[in-house]
Amino acid sequence: MTYDPPDSIAAVMTPAEVRQACRVGAFNRPTRGAAVGWVHCNLVVLDQRHAYDFLLYCQRNPKACPVMEITDTGNPEPRRTASGADLRSDLARYHVFRDGVQADDSTNINDLWTDTSIGFLIGSGITFDGALQRAGVPTDKDRWVVNTDIDTEPAGVFSGKLVATMRWLTPEQAIIATQVSARFPNNHGAPIHIGDPAQIGADLANPLFGPPVGKVRDGQVAVFWACGVTPQSAALNAGIDLMITHAPAHGLPIDIKSDDVALP
Q: Which residues bind a copy of itself (CB under 8 A)?
A: 48, 51-52, 55-56, 59-60, 67, 70, 80, 153, 185, 263
Nearer to a copy of itself (CB atom), residue 51 or residue 216: 51
Q: Minimum Å distance from CB 59 to a copy of itself?
A: 6
Q: Is 210 left (phi over 0), alpha (psi -120 to 50) or beta?
A: left
Q: Read off the amino acid at residue 65.
A: C
E strand segments, the chain: 38-47, 67-70, 94-98, 101-102, 117-123, 143-151, 161-169, 193-194, 221-226, 242-246, 252-257
* Residue 31 burial (10 A CB sphere; 0-12, 13-18, 19+): buried
- Decide whether 57 or 113 has the Cβ nearer to a copy of itself: 57
Q: Which CB sits closer to a copy of itself, 67 or 112?
A: 67
Return d(Cα 137, Cα 255) in angstroms, integer. 24
Nearest approach, Cβ of 186 to a copy of itself (angstroms)?
A: 9
User: Smallest distance, Å, CB 263 to a copy of itself?
Assistant: 7
Cβ closest to a copy of itself, residue 60 vs residue 257: 60
Residue 52 C-beta: closest distance to a copy of itself, Å:
4
